[in-house]
């Protein structure tokens, strides 16, 4: 696999502008940007999550030209292993520093309409159903999601959409990946599932959220509320405890802050905890740890299997890659995998947008519906689509 380091201007002005539609993947972290060109190897089929790391390692070893070579594999992994995982090793990898200095593009879509959307009442009823389960079963948390399909009168310019996602997600992870059906999976995830650099391991689970306001006074009130509301602290604690349990199997010197902090995106405020440690086996592929973590209580629930069964019963759609994971790993086991949220499947004149909210015993159905609408706003606003009132009705 060829690898070339380029300037961020060339990345933004040439590759994204001219080759994004044909590129198998684009992935930007806060510090660097990866752009794949061509496909040297590809894997696309259902696979148990426990086998992901072995499959990736087999492909990466086959791609090595010599012992010192360090090829990179990009992947999108679904929420359920009944759906296909997609791995790609590109023919050429372009790498640059952050491309996030670009200015947002003007709104691209002047007219759009909902063509498929469950009613707000359906979602609120799903929350009520979960609250009943909490009272009668051992289920403590479940993440209830919904999907909205939007049709536009004009073509959706992928380059502009990606540029806007980069501009509004400067501290997160932005991605664009080809799917098998010809759509682009595009999004701006704030949530790092796990990253490994040498022996250093880091995870940043998020749970407990508030919509962000244009008023800084209201945002400050929301920050204080997140840090002082038992419902949000309980929801966040379930996620952190599970991530800590999994990481402790692979790490020594694992550090977990005792209390969360608050981070914010353009549309949301989240409770956040950063866990860090040193892996006991530095040769371990980060994808093995990611697969063990996935899906965390932040996107599924707790206990995991009980939450998964509740989701299958209540949700009336297939999540596909939503609430899966997206990222990369190399032949030395390094890599970054993020939770596939704040995303949409984008076609020429259509978008399927996803969002979910963590439901616990203290949840209020309308508040959870409002939260999903605010989360959908991340990618809809990047595309210039304003449907806020319709998303929370």
Q: Which residues are known to be catalytic?
A: 141, 191
Buried b / exposed e across 343-380, counting CB within 10 Å, b at 16+? bbbbbeebbbbbbbbbbbeebebeebbbbbbbbbbbbb
Neighbour tally for 118: CB within 10 Å: 15
Paired tokens of 384: 């210039």
DSSP H helices, 64-177, are: 120-136, 158-168
Distance in angstroms (rounded) separating the CA atoms of residues 313 and 127:
12
Angle between helices 230-247 and 286-293 (to 10 degrees): 140
Task: Please report, for residues 23, 194, 303, the alpha-carbon distance to residue 296 in angstroms, rounded to integers and kept in the order given.
Answer: 29, 11, 10
Burial class (CB in 10 A: 0-12, 13-18, 19+), 34: buried
Query: Cα(132)–Cα(144) distance, rounded to whole angstroms?
Result: 14
Does residue 295 have a cis peptide bond before it, meaning omega lies within 30 degrees of 0? yes
The tokens 């996602």 sit on which residue?
A: 165
Q: Quickly list H helices, 227-272.
A: 230-247
Neighbouring residues of 138: CB distance < 8 A, sequence distance ≥ 6: 303, 306
CB 83 within 8 A of CB 46: yes
Q: Which one, of 54, 337, 302, lies nearest residue 194 by Cα?
A: 337
User: Position of tokens 């389960």?
Assistant: 133
């Amino acid at each position: 696999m060829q690898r070339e380091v380029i300037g961020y201007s060339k990345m933004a002005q040439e590759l994204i502008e001219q080759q994004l539609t044909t590129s198998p993947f684009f992935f930007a972290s806060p510090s660097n940007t990866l752009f794949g060109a061509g496909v040297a190897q590809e894997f696309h089929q259902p696979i148990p999550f426990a086998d992901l790391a072995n499959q990736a390692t087999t492909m990466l070893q086959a791609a090595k030209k010599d012992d010192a070579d360090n090829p990179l594999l990009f992947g999108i992994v679904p929420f359920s292993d009944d759906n296909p995982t997609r791995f790609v090793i590109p023919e050429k990898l372009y790498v640059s520093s952050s491309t996030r200095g670009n200015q947002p593009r003007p709104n691209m879509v002047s007219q759009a309409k909902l063509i498929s959307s469950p009613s707000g009442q359906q979602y609120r009823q799903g929350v009520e159903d979960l609250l009943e389960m909490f009272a009668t079963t051992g289920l403590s948390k479940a993440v209830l999601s919904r999907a909205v399909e939007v049709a536009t009168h004009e073509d959706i310019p992928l380059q502009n959409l990606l540029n806007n996602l980069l501009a509004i997600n400067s501290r997160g992870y932005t991605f664009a990946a080809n799917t098998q059906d010809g759509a682009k999976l595009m999004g701006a995830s704030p949530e790092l599932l796990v990253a490994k650099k040498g022996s250093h391991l880091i995870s940043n689970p998020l749970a407990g959220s508030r919509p962000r306001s244009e008023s800084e006074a209201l945002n400050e009130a929301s920050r204080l509320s997140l840090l002082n509301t038992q419902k949000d602290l309980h929801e966040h604690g379930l996620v952190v405890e599970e991530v800590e349990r999994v990481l402790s199997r692979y790490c020594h010197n694992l550090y977990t802050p005792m209390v969360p902090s608050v981070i914010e995106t353009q549309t949301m405020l989240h409770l956040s905890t950063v866990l860090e440690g040193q892996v006991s086996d530095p040769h371990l592929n980060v994808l093995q740890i990611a697969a063990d973590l996935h899906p965390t209580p932040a996107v599924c629930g707790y206990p995991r299997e009980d939450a998964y069964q509740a989701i299958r019963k209540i949700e009336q759609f297939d999540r596909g890659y939503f609430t899966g994971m997206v990222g990369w790993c190399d032949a030395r086991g390094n890599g970054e995998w993020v939770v596939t949220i704040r995303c949409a499947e984008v076609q020429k004149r259509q978008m399927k947008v996803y969002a979910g909210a963590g439901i616990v015993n203290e949840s209020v159905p309308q508040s959870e519906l409002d939260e999903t609408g605010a989360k959908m706003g991340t990618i809809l606003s990047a595309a210039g689509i304003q449907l806020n009132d319709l998303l929370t009705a």
